[in-house]
Amino acid sequence: MPPDAVFLAVDPGQHTGFAVVEVYRGIHPHLGVILPCVPDCTVACTQHGIIEEFEGSPVLKVRDLLENITETYPRTLITARNGWQPRLFVIIEQFVFTVRTIQGGRDSHAAVEMFGVFKALINTDYPHFQLDTRQSPADAHNIMTAPMMRTFGIVEETIGTDHAQMAVRHGILAASRLRNRILALDYDELAKWKKNSSP
């Protein structure tokens, strides 16, 4: 049973966190968990981890990640009257330029660079992903409590784990925002969402 939507959520920085979140219409306890913020759906976090800035080329690592998801979820690509209407989403935490972030050192610079890598690859080689860069850290924190995080089993105290946890939160937040459209399989609305989802 393929998922109805797949979210690759990203918390960029020197330790870029990522998570793959699947959403299924209906209640399927054998596939994942039922969350109050995404009612009438089943949610599963199938991958989470860290892309380290200092461990090889981030371009190659991001390309490998996008390629892996494309190969893993081929049946989430559907054909509509006006061409491909994908159900694969990339959610990147919103980055706001302020005096603090501009002077934030290497982590801020790395976040901007990683955003550029994802956007360039999606625009050139992976256009079947829908990109959204509007979700704030505060909104992501509010959508997922610590007990919910334990449900997903990703509370290890390791370097960069906070970024992976934030990526999961962003995936859940995106699923919550798009839940009505996923339930209705309203891909015309998803297409409109795509047009307005990033600058």
Q: What is the pLDDT of residues 33-53, one digit of tens each?
A: 888 889 999 999 998 888 876
Looking at domain 5-195, its CATH superfamily turns out to be Ribonuclease H-like superfamily/Ribonuclease H (3.30.420.10)
Rounded CA gap, 195 and 199, in Å? 9
For 131-164, the pLDDT digits (tens) are: 999 999 999 988 887 777 777 766 555 445 688 8
The answer to whether 168 and 45 are in contact (CB under 8 A) is yes
Where do runs of H (alpha helix) occur along 134-197? 137-143, 146-152, 161-184, 187-195
Query: Is pTM, for the whole model, over 0.85?
Result: no
**Of 132, 110, 134, which Cα lies nearest the Cα of 61?**
110
Question: 174 in helix, strand or coil?
Answer: helix
- 64-108 per-position pLDDT tens digit: 999 999 999 876 655 444 444 558 899 999 877 666 666 666 667
Domain boundaries, the chain: 5-195
The answer on pLDDT for 191 being more than 80 is no
Q: What are residue 65's phi and psi, to 5 degrees? A: -65, -50
CA distance 21 to 137: 17
The residue that leads in pLDDT, 130 or 199, is: 130
Tokens of 142: 């509010």
